[in-house]
Amino acid sequence: MPRIPSGMRKTARGTYESRFTIDGKRYSVYGKSVRECREKEQARRREITEGRYRAGKAPSLDEYFRQWDTSRIGTMRDSTIRTERYIYRLVAGVRLSDGKTLGELRLGELERRHICEAQLTLRKSYSASSVNRGISVLRAVLESALEERRIDWNPAKGVRMLKSDKKPPRETIHRALSLEETEGFFRAAERLGSWYLNLYSFLLNTGCRFGEAGALRASDIADEMIRIERTLTRTVDGHLVIGSDTKTGHSARLIPARREALAAVQGQQRQNVREFGRPDGTQQTVFCAKRGGLLGARCVKKDIDRICLAAGIERFSSHAFRDTFATRAVESGMQPKTLQEILGHADIGITMNLYAHVMEDTKRIQMTAVEVMRGTDSGKAEQISTQGLTKE
């Protein structure tokens, strides 16, 4: 790998930056290669020396965001770019007390007080977690501007995140369902004739993510193993498509197929034949929408909500099936490393952090069943249960 010349560096986006000082003022130029960067630096030096260089007017936050956003296309997932565009518009569109929106302010004008004002305004209509996501995106945009020396400091860096007064999702819509809730949900789903009944059973018995199940093809199941190698995603324009890979590199995996999971696949294929005359939907996926297209999260959420209402249980999201699977697996004694691989977590720490509370409960229950040996005064061994231990 060629050595980068002194005074030049490679940025996080893969471009090169050359920094130099003339008469106490710092300048920066950027290029796609070391050679291009050097040529731009020489040209800029000539402009400054000959008095032809005039620093351009600082762009507005909106104008800079468009540049930042364009530079990330091809380097980030389309779904990520699309989500962050929406979040940014939410924050930048806040109208401040001086009459301008946050996005209309120029980079040099933007102060911490402006961001704090936007934060408080948003909190009146949105949850703390949504506002915090907005501030995080804004912070990343301004960090890039700081890296390019468009600003001298990042005014979003000192803005404190809002404290959420709501329960975390894993205790509400992403919670693990109790046995009673699970049974009640499936009874109600069957009674209501839910199109997605087989999908719910598959998610519950594999721990798959919703998008992974939605991208599953019949060819992905063989020898009682389920191959996860792609997921549903959205393009920058919001179109739902089957991605070319999984959510992360570690999400690609093989899952041993439980009898119930295979039955769910076969049940869905029979349902597809009755509805479409073929075992898969119009997109050649096992689990499809009611009209044969790709699974949309919105229609599934709506179906889950109506089933929960009929069953008399608190509503939850499709991700709750994954958490329920993991919880039941831990309670059954599955090793954390095995669970990590089945769930497709990149690091076992993720698995431990998510299900540590379940593991602690399981350890307590299993500890009471452990039998130990201790010596007695008579030299005989006495078998005791830890349930009988008392403090001395």
Q: How confident is the model over 49-84, as pLDDT tens digits?
A: 888 766 656 789 999 999 899 888 888 888 889 999
Specify the higher pLDDT residue, 380 or 260: 260
Mean of pLDDT values over 225-236? 93
Residue 120 lies in a domain: yes
Examine the domain organization and report whether 220 and 103 are in the same domain: no
CATH number of the domain enclosing 312 = 1.10.443.10
DSSP-derived letter for residue 251 is: G
Among the listed ranges 101-105, 248-252, 262-266, 369-373, which one has the minimum average pLDDT value? 369-373
Number of H helices, E strands in the chain: 13, 10
Both 126 and 219 in a single domain? no
**How far is 318 from 295, CA to CA, in rounded Å?**
12
Mean pLDDT score across all residues of the chain: 86
Q: How many domains does the chain have?
A: 3
Identify residue 58 by its one-letter amino acid code. Answer: A
Please, what's the largest Cα pairwise distance for the chain? Answer: 103
Percent of the chain with pLDDT over 70: 87
Q: How confident is the model at residue 384 (pLDDT cuts 50, 70, 90)?
A: very low
Helix (H, G, I), strand (E, B) or coil at 233: strand
Please report whether residue 156 resides in a domain.
no
What confidence tens digit (pLDDT) does each residue in 178-194 have? 899 999 999 999 999 99
Does 42 reside within a domain?
yes
- Based on the fold, state whether residues 188 and 280 are members of the same structural domain: yes
Distance between CA atoms of residues 116 and 85, nearest Å: 20
- The pLDDT assigned to 27 comes to 76
Both 279 and 359 in one domain: the answer is yes
Do 121 and 233 lie in one domain? The reply is no
- 16: β partners: 10, 31
Full domain range(s) for residue 208: 170-364
Q: Do both 119 and 225 map to the same domain?
A: no
Average pLDDT over residues 258-284: 92
Q: Highest mean pLDDT: which of 144-148, 229-233, 355-359?
A: 229-233
Report if residue 377 sits inside a domain. no
Q: Please determine, for residue 28, whether its predicted confidence score (pLDDT) is greater than 80.
A: no
Same domain, yes or no: 257 and 334: yes
Is residue 117 located within the same domain as residue 252? no
Q: Do 288 and 319 sit in the same domain of this protein?
A: yes
Q: What is the mean pLDDT of residues 143-162?
A: 87
Q: In whole angstroms, give the CA distance from residue 187 to residue 67.
A: 52
Distance from C-alpha of 90 to C-alpha of 133, rounded to nearest angstrom? 10
pLDDT in tens, 167-226: 665 565 678 898 999 999 999 999 999 999 999 999 999 999 999 999 999 999 999 999
The verdict on 310 and 186 lying in the same domain is yes
Would 378 be classed as within a structural domain? Answer: no
Instruction: Please identify, among 90, 113, 147, the residue that sits at the C-terminal boundary of a domain.
Output: 147
CB 226 within 8 A of CB 206: yes
The answer on 34 and 66 residing in a single domain is no
Q: Tell me the per-residue pLDDT of 296-334, one tens digit each, with 9 for 90 and over.
A: 999 999 999 999 999 999 999 999 999 999 989 988 889
Residue 220 sits in the same domain as residue 336: yes
